[in-house]
Amino acid sequence: MLGKCVKKHLEKVTGHQFKDQDLLEVALTHSSAQNIGIGDYERLEFLGDRVLGLVIAEMLFHLFPTAKEGELAIRLNTLVDTETCAQIAEKIGLPDLIRVGADMKWLGRRRLSNVYADVVEALIAVLYTDGGLAASYPFIHRYWSERIHRPEGQLRDAKTELQEWAHRQGSVQPVYRVLTRVGPDHAPIFEVELQIPGFSLVNGKGESKRQAEQAAAKEMLYREGVWKQEIHGYMNDG
C-alpha cells in the first residue's frame, strides 16, 4: 500500500491531491515487481505519453506562432523524449519511489532511465484520469516550461545520436558488423548487425554500408524509446 509520505510528496511536486491512491501505486510499479499483485504502469504510460504530447504540442503552437511544422516537430521530440522525461523524474524524486524487481535493482540509475521516463508519463496519466487536463496542465507547465525555450538544435543523424545515448548508458560503444552484401555491383544491398553490450541486437539494410548502419542505429533508437517513430520518421522522409 502506498505510504502517506509518498502520496504527500507526489501531491507536493504535482500540485494535485490524488483521489485514486490505488492507481497512483500502479503508476510507480514496474512489471518486474508484479509479485506485489497490483499490476504495472505500462497502460498508464501509454496514456500519459499521449497527454504529455498533446499539452506540449499546444504549448509550442501558441509560443512559436511563426514556426513551421518541421521546427515544431523537432522541439516536441526533444521535450517528450526519454532523456528529458528521465531528467524530470530525477528532479521530482521519482527514482526512489519506483518499485522494481530485485533483478533490476543492480542496474543503477543510468540503465534505468527508460523506466524513470515511463513512470513520469504514468504519473501524468494518473493526473489526467484523476482530474482531467485541468490537473495535468499545471504539472507539465511547471516542469517543461523552463526547457521549452532552449535552442532546438538540429536533427542529428541516427549514428551520432545513438553513440551519445550509448555512452550515457555506461560508456558503452555501438559495434556494427556487415552480415551480407547482395545484388549487382551497381546496386548492392548491405545488411548490418548492430550490437551494444547489454542490449538485444538489431539489423539494418541500405544501399551502402553507411545507409545500413544508419538504418540499424535508427531501429535501435526507436526500439529503446529514444526517438519517436512518428516524429523522426516524418523528418527523415521529408
Tell me the C-alpha distance between 123 and 230, whole Å: 23
- Give me the DSSP letters along the chain: ---HHHHHHHHHHH----S-HHHHHHHTB-GGGGGGSS--SHHHHHHHHHHHHHHHHHHHHHH-TT--HHHHHHHHHHHHSHHHHHHHHHHTT-GGG-B--HHHHTTHHHHTHHHHHHHHHHHHHHHHHHH-HHHHHHHHHHHHHHHHTS-------HHHHHHHHHHHTTS---EEEEEEEES-TTS-EEEEEEE-TTS--EEEEESSHHHHHHHHHHHHHHHTTSS-HHHHHHHHH-
Q: Does 96 participate in catalysis according to the annotation?
A: no
**What is the C-alpha to C-alpha distance for residues 68 and 59, in angstroms, rounded to an integer?**
14
Catalytic residue (choose from 25, 40, 81, 121) = 121
SS3 label, residue 61:
helix
Which residue carries 540509475 as its cell?
109
Q: Is 11 a catalytic residue?
A: no
Q: State the catalytic residue, choosing from 25, 40, 45, 49.
A: 49
Q: Which residues are catalytic?
A: 49, 121
